[in-house]
Structure formats: structure tokens, C-alpha cells
Structure 1
Amino acid sequence: MATFSYMLLLSVTLDIFQTVILGKSGVVTNVTCSLKSNIIRWDWTPSFPVCSETMGTNIKIFDVAKGKVALKRFIHRLKLTENYTLQIRHPISSDSGLFTCVSHNGETSKTKIQIEPGCMNNVLLEKHSTSHSLTLKCSLCKTTPIYELDRFEWKLNNTPVTNIKGVTVSKNGDILEIQSTQKASPGKWICIFSPNTLWFAEYCMDEDKEDKEIDTGNRINGLQVLQIVGIVLLAIILILAVIVIAFLYNKFTVRKGETYQVTKDDNAEIAMIPSDASRTDPMLEAPSELNYMTIMFSENQATTVALGSPNVYASLKVK
């Protein structure tokens, strides 16, 4: 029963457990596949559907058989390397999501990718969270004498953020602050370098995640909680299985050299019949010799009888 429960729980938790990888914007991220059988495709479920402008789950992004990218947003940015590892080039915040490799027999291996702010298109985006606000700051990765001042502008889903309540922007536009009391609109927040609009960086917030963006540094995400709970349950089942096995082993293993304490107020006579005695054993139905050993003790005496043979038949006659 314990083994069955263990296997059942294991089959469930294997689908829950996922590898979590934190990537950086602009830095190549490798997604490994733990399956050993032939892989037919890679799927993707976006963490930020609004920001990525991609709705749905388990969207095919790479066809292994054809060796081609299957989703437009990843064109020229995905490459399959050895052991079916998926390489993401120039990753951005909206690439975050659940990446799943699928084998020909339906087995899956899931990896959660979270792309954190970094340097992308020569714009470095940094995030700072406190208990009361979320601050996004932009600067150039590499300064150039061509542009004397760092001037930035912010957009939310391609709309200027100037009139969004609870959102403040610094004078030169490099710092944007979202107050915790304001439920900011979900979507893609873009920081654009005004003198050269080809230099920009993005930050994603989704409707279900925006409130969690504030002061999340010391929180454990839901995936980690599932992993911890699963590991604890597996450990408990393994411990119970070991206890049951040990109990059954001790119960059915014959002990040698046991000592029995016999106490009786009246005189008694104990007849010991070893297993090699000559008789017809009703259990084994095999004849053997009878050799009796009688131990007498008087009133209020206690006698210790050592049984050296593993199989002993005893009869007690009280006088």
C-alpha cells in the first residue's frame, strides 16, 4: 500500500515539479530538457499574455522534426542545441513563461523561465521594490558623446503614461514610480531613449501579478511551495514505508536465544519439547523424536528458562 501511494504521488509530483531559471534581458538563456526519449517539439505558455500579446497555453514554438521556429515572435531567436536544449537569444521580459519539451510518447519536461530586467537595446532597466511602491529606472548601457543628455519617455501598451493615476515620472524620464495603493494597468511598460527610439527596454506586469510586484524579494513563489510540499510528502511516505518493512521483518523473523521468565505461586511442572523431538508434528506432518525436559519449582519461585532452539513446543501443568 505504501509503495502504491509513493508511486501515485510520484507520478503526480513529477508533472508539478519544474525547474526555475532566472534569466536576464539581452543575455542568452538555455532551457534544458530532462527527457531521454525523442523530442518532437517545444511548447510555451506565456507568464504575461497581455504583455507578450500572446494568448493561450502550450503554444508550439519549435518543431524539432522540421528544425524550425513555429511562432513568429521567436523567429531568429530560438536555436536547438545538443540534448534538445532550447537556446533563447536576446530574451526579453515578455518571453517569460513555462517552456515544455514534449516527447513522441507524450512525456513532458517543464521549465519555468523568468526574464528579469537587464541591458537590452543599449538600455539598462532596473527594478526596485519596497513595501509601498515599485520603481523602474532606465539608463544607457554604454554612454556615447553623440547624446549629451539621457532623456527617456515611458509608454504602457504603446500609450504615454503621463495621465495614469498613481504613476509618477522623474523630470528627465529615467525613473518611473508606481504606488502600491494604485492598481496599475497590466501590460507592457516600455522605457524609450528619446534621442534614439531604437534604444528601449520593456517590463511586463500582468493582471494577476501586478500586486505581487511590490515587495516580493523575500516571498516564496507558488511553484517553490508546491515543490516543498511534494518533497515533504514523499519523505513522510518513505519513512512510513521503512517503518512498515522493519515491523514486518521483525514479526516474521525467528529470534534465537530468547529468555522467558516463568513465575507461579503454586508448584508447577514445565515440559520442554525441542524441535528435533520424535513426534508427528501437526504443522509439518513429519515424525521426529520426543525428548522431554522437566523443570520443577516450588511456590513463590521464579525460574528463567533459556530457549536456545528457534522452534520449541512447551506444555505447562500446574499442580
Structure 2
Amino acid sequence: MTTLSYMLLLFVTLDIFQTVSLGKSGVTTNVTCSLKSNIIRWDWTPRFPMCSETMGSNIKIFDVAKGKVALKRFVHRLKLLENSTLQIKHPFSSDSGLFTCVSHNGETSKTEIQIEPGCKNNVLLEKHSASHSLTLKCSLCKTTPIYELNRFEWKLNNTPATNIKGVSVSMNGDILEIHSTQKVSPGKWICIFSLNTLWFAEYCMDEDKEDKEIDTDNRIGGLQVLQIVGIILLAIILVLAVIVIAFLYNKFAVRKGETYQLTKDDNAEIAIIQSDASRTDPMLEAPSELNYMTIMFSENQATAVALGRPNVYASLKVK
């Protein structure tokens, strides 16, 4: 029972626990692995499949044995450090997701990474959200006399933002306002500097058409709630298990007491006579109320217990 309880508790804990970490676009981010044993690979489940243009879950991105990146989008951007830490260079918003290190014996350690908007490719992207609306603003991280004016263009999945209903763009393109995130298709929003298309920044929206951020405190609080619920369910299961075991044990004990047992003795003879209801007990001169008879004896001792089949008379003759 103790081992079963521990396994169930371990299952509940491992099933819901994961680390949440925040990063910035363009700023190198490290993903730690809590496993003690040697790991064989790193997997990735994108948070924004449409934005990252990568579908699926638990996609292998780094092969530890070969020391090579296993997914094209991360080529030249991943590096394995000491203690099995994975380093992500020049992270994009679309890199957000669940990173999992896997050991040789199948153990896993999960870390959810959310890459927040920041300065990437000399473009600083900022966001301001309210209710179901969202405002994105772009500006240059560093300006030069050649590029004094901040002129930008916006695209959603390669479609010009000016062609999308429910979206408005400022005169010089530095501010984009999404009036209702419920009515705008999700995906990758790109802010491109008009005079140098190599300078751009991206912002990803969820597939449920809502702009969601990872609130570390709320997320951890949610995990704690799930853990509490799991522990409560485990306690209920254990209580029910104890009740069932107690019931079965009691039932077994009763049946064991009702079992017809005889210890055969060379110096004793037992005669069991089947009788019908019309016969009377010679001692009581009335129909016998003795419904059961079991005789247990050993070493010239005899004990009579009211057990056995209905309407049975028994006599004991000891030599």
C-alpha cells in the first residue's frame, strides 16, 4: 500500500510540474535540466505552431550523442553547456514553447520558455494590451543620421496588415492596433523597417485568437492547485482502498470461522445424522433449533460450534 501510494503521488507530481521561465527577443536564454543522469536529447513543443511554422509535439531539436542540432530553425543557435543546460542564441518570439530534456532511462525535465518582445535585429517591439485589443509599437534600437525616420511595414503571415479588417496602422507604420483579437487571425506579426528589410521583429499570437501572456505567479499558483487536487484525489483513492480491504478482510474472517473443520483423532468417532424437520431433540422434546454443527477437537478435547448444514443432529462417541 505504501509503495502504491508513493507511485501514485509521484505520477501526479511529475505529470503536472514544470518550470516556467521568461526570456527576451534577441537576448541569449539558457534552459536548465534538473535530471541527475546523463541526457540523450532535447525536445521542443512550440507554443505557437502557426507562427513557428513547425507542427507537432516533442520534436527533437538537439542530439546530445552527436552534439548536433536536429531541427533546421535552431541551426547555429543552440549550444549544450555544462550540467546539460541548453543555450538558445538570438531567440525569437516563435521559439517560445516547452523544452524537455530526456535521459537515457526515459526520465524527463520540462521547462516552458516564453520569449517576450524585445530588441531584435535592431528593432525594438513593444506591446500594450487591454481587454481584447492589442497595440504593437516598433522603433529602432539604435538610430543613425541615415535612418532618422522610423518608417515600418506590418505583415501577418506575409499578408500586409493594411489589408486586414479590424487592424489600423499609424501614418509612418510604427504603431499597429488590433481592435479585437477575437476577430483577427492568429500567427506571426512582423514589423519590418522600410529602409532596411534586414531589420525586423516578430510577435506571435495564440491559435485561439487571444493574446495570452505567461504570468509566472499565476501559472505556478495553477500548478499548486493541480497538485492539491491530485493529492485530494489520491487521498480519496487511498481511503476507498482501505475501506474495500477492511470489508474483504472482515468477510474472509467470517467465512473462515464458518468453514467446517475437523481434526481427525484415532480415539474418537463422529457420527453425523441427516434429519428432517419432523424429528425432535430427545433432550428438549421439541424441534431442534440447532441449524448448524461443527465439531473441532484435538488431543481428546472437543469443542462444539454452531455451524454446518441445516437440520443436522450430531453425536460424539469418545472411546
TM-score for both structures, normalised by structure 1 = 0.69
Letter in 1 for 2:157: N
Could you tell me which residue of structure 2 aligns to residue 117 of structure 1? 117
Could you tell me which residue of structure 2 aligns to residue 283 of structure 1? none
Could you tell me which residue of structure 1 aligns to residue 280 of structure 2? none
Q: After superposition, what is the alpha-carbon deviation per residue over 1:104-137, rounded to whole angstroms, capped at 9, x for unaligned?
A: 1111100000001000000000111112411111
Does the Cα contact within 8 Å between 2:51 and 2:188 map onto a contact in 1? yes
Unaligned runs of 5+ in 1: 242-319
Distance in 2, Cα, partners of 1:55 & 1:158? 18
Q: What secondary structure sits across from 1:189 in the alignment?
A: strand
Could you tell me which residue of structure 2 aligns to residue 228 of structure 1? 225
Instruction: Say if 1:181 and 1:156 are closer, same or farther in 2 by CA, change over 3 A.
Output: closer
What number of residue pairs does the alignment pair up?
Answer: 237
Q: What secondary structure sits across from 1:184 in the alignment?
A: coil
Q: What secondary structure sits across from 2:146 in the alignment?
A: coil
Q: What secondary structure sits across from 2:98 in the alignment?
A: strand
Shift of 1:174: 0.6
Distance in 1, Cα, partners of 2:174 & 2:188? 17
Could you tell me which residue of structure 1 aligns to residue 309 of structure 2? none
Could you tell me which residue of structure 1 aligns to residue 148 of structure 2? 148
Superposition pairs of residues 245-284 of structure 1, within 5 angstroms: none
Shift of 1:32: 0.5
Q: What secondary structure sits across from 1:22 in the alignment?
A: strand
Shift of 1:63: 0.3
Larger helix percent: 2
Letter in 1 for 2:210: D
Does the Cα contact within 8 Å between 1:152 and 1:194 map onto a contact in 2? yes
Could you tell me which residue of structure 1 aligns to residue 276 of structure 2? none
Instruction: Say if 1:206 and 1:182 are closer, same or farther in 2 by CA, change over 3 A.
Output: closer
Does the Cα contact within 8 Å between 2:134 and 2:181 map onto a contact in 1? no
Superposition pairs of residues 207-246 of structure 1, within 5 angstroms: 207-208=207-208, 210-213=209-212, 220-221=218-219, 224-231=221-228, 233-234=230-231
Q: What secondary structure sits across from 2:224 in the alignment?
A: helix
Letter in 1 for 2:37: S
Q: After superposition, what is the alpha-carbon deviation per residue over 1:247-299, rounded to whole angstroms, capped at 9, x for unaligned?
A: xxxxxxxxxxxxxxxxxxxxxxxxxxxxxxxxxxxxxxxxxxxxxxxxxxxxx
Shift of 1:179: 1.4
Could you tell me which residue of structure 2 aligns to residue 130 of structure 1? 130
Instruction: Say if 1:132 and 1:40 are closer, same or farther in 2 by CA, change over 3 A.
Output: closer
Superposition pairs of residues 169-180 of structure 1, within 5 angstroms: 169-180=169-180
Could you tell me which residue of structure 2 aligns to residue 12 of structure 1? 12
Matched, 1:165 2:165: yes
Shift of 1:206: 2.6
Q: What secondary structure sits across from 1:142 in the alignment?
A: coil
Shift of 1:10: 2.3
Could you tell me which residue of structure 2 aligns to residue 71 of structure 1? 71
Q: CA RMSD in A?
A: 2.5
Q: What secondary structure sits across from 1:220 in the alignment?
A: helix
Superposition pairs of residues 100-111 of structure 1, within 5 angstroms: 100-111=100-111
Distance in 1, Cα, partners of 2:140 & 2:108? 40
Shift of 1:180: 2.5
Instruction: Say if 1:218 and 1:172 are closer, same or farther in 2 by CA, change over 3 A.
Output: farther
Shift of 1:5: 3.0
Instruction: Say if 1:230 and 1:89 are closer, same or farther in 2 by CA, change over 3 A.
Output: same
Distance in 2, Cα, partners of 1:179 & 1:103? 46
Instruction: Say if 1:29 and 1:131 are closer, same or farther in 2 by CA, change over 3 A.
Output: same
Identity %: 80
Could you tell me which residue of structure 1 aligns to residue 201 of structure 2? 201
Matched, 1:33 2:33: yes
Does the Cα contact within 8 Å between 1:2 and 1:237 map onto a contact in 2? no
TM-score for both structures, normalised by structure 2 = 0.69
Distance in 1, Cα, partners of 2:181 & 2:229? 37
Q: What secondary structure sits across from 1:83 in the alignment?
A: helix
Letter in 1 for 2:218: I
Shift of 1:139: 0.6
Instruction: Say if 1:82 and 1:129 are closer, same or farther in 2 by CA, change over 3 A.
Output: same
Does the Cα contact within 8 Å between 1:136 and 1:176 map onto a contact in 2? yes
Does the Cα contact within 8 Å between 1:139 and 1:174 map onto a contact in 2? yes
Distance in 1, Cα, partners of 2:71 & 2:128? 32
Distance in 1, Cα, partners of 2:48 & 2:25? 15
Distance in 2, Cα, partners of 1:132 & 1:204? 15
Unaligned runs of 5+ in 2: 239-319
Matched, 1:94 2:94: yes
Distance in 1, Cα, partners of 2:118 & 2:215? 17
